[in-house]
Amino acid sequence: MAAIPKKDLRLVVRAKLHAITPEQRVRASALACARLREQKVWAQVKSVMFYSALIDVLDFAPLFDVALASGKSVALPKFVEATKSYVPFKISHAQRDCAAGKFGIIEPAATCAEFPANHLDLILVPGVAFDVTGHRLGRGQGHYDRLLANVVGIKCGVAFDEQLVQRIPAEAHDIRMNCVLTPTRFIEFA
């Protein structure tokens, strides 16, 4: 069976996401946070890059302080206009070290230091959709693919269950995930 073109797949998945109520989003995010904390990888990593949640992605903000309290280094991506890509920056305090940035997304403040991407152990990666083999469908700009190209740590796609699809057409520049986490599943890939 042929894969749905990326443009059409984005429309299909976004329609599913639009149907999720705010209450369902909060519950799904809480379940995903709990599922992540249950994974062996969470206990083993020393550094993790989160992201700032928009309305159509799972919210892992409750784990920022949990990670910091357990001694993990925490990073958030910041959009760098010159390269049109995201760069990780270290945060030490979730509220104090963050400010509104590009696209209205909460990003590390100007006082935060860059965190080397190749030192990240775990990267939580949002997307429009993920398939059952680890391929990711982003928003179409390639911003995260450019960031992930420099990462050697575990790339964990995170999504609502509605964002998990059978097949995404992959291109050479697309970065494959090591695992995908939803509120009800954790899938690892070889």
What's residue 80's pLDDT?
Answer: 83
What CA–CA distances, in Å, run from 120 to 22, 39, 96, 127? 31, 17, 22, 19
Give the domain extent around 26: 6-188
CATH code for the domain of 170:
3.40.50.10420
What's residue 1's pLDDT?
Answer: 47
What is the token pair recorded at 130? Answer: 């993920």
54-73: pLDDT as tens digits: 788 999 999 999 999 999 99
Identify the top-confidence range among 60-64, 84-88, 98-102.
60-64
- Mapped onto helix, strand or coil, the DSSP state of residue 52 is coil
Q: What is the spatial distance between Cα 148 and Cα 118, in angstroms, rounded to a whole number?
A: 9
Which of 51, 85, 81, 12 is CA-nearest to residue 155? 51
Residue 93 amino acid letter: H
For residues 154-158, give the mean pLDDT: 97
* Residue 17 belongs to some domain of the structure: yes
* Residue 124 belongs to some domain of the structure: yes
* Residue 71 belongs to some domain of the structure: yes
- Mapped onto helix, strand or coil, the DSSP state of residue 101 is coil
Look at the chain and report how many structural domains it folds into: 1
Q: What is the spatial distance between Cα 145 and Cα 44, in angstroms, rounded to a whole number?
A: 25
What's residue 84's pLDDT?
Answer: 76
What's residue 3's pLDDT?
Answer: 66
* Residue 53 belongs to some domain of the structure: yes
* Residue 20 belongs to some domain of the structure: yes
* Residue 108 belongs to some domain of the structure: yes
* Residue 59 belongs to some domain of the structure: yes
Q: What is the spatial distance between Cα 172 and Cα 161, in angstroms, rounded to a whole number?
A: 26
Burial 105-132 (b: 16+ CB within 10 A, else e): bbbbbeebeebebeebbbbbbbbbbbbe
Identify the top-confidence range among 6-10, 122-126, 140-144.
122-126
What is the token pair recorded at 74? Answer: 């925490």
* Residue 1 belongs to some domain of the structure: no
Task: Quickly tell me which residue has 């104090």 as its tokens.
Answer: 96
Percent of the chain with pLDDT over 90: 67
For residues 45-61, give the mean pLDDT: 91
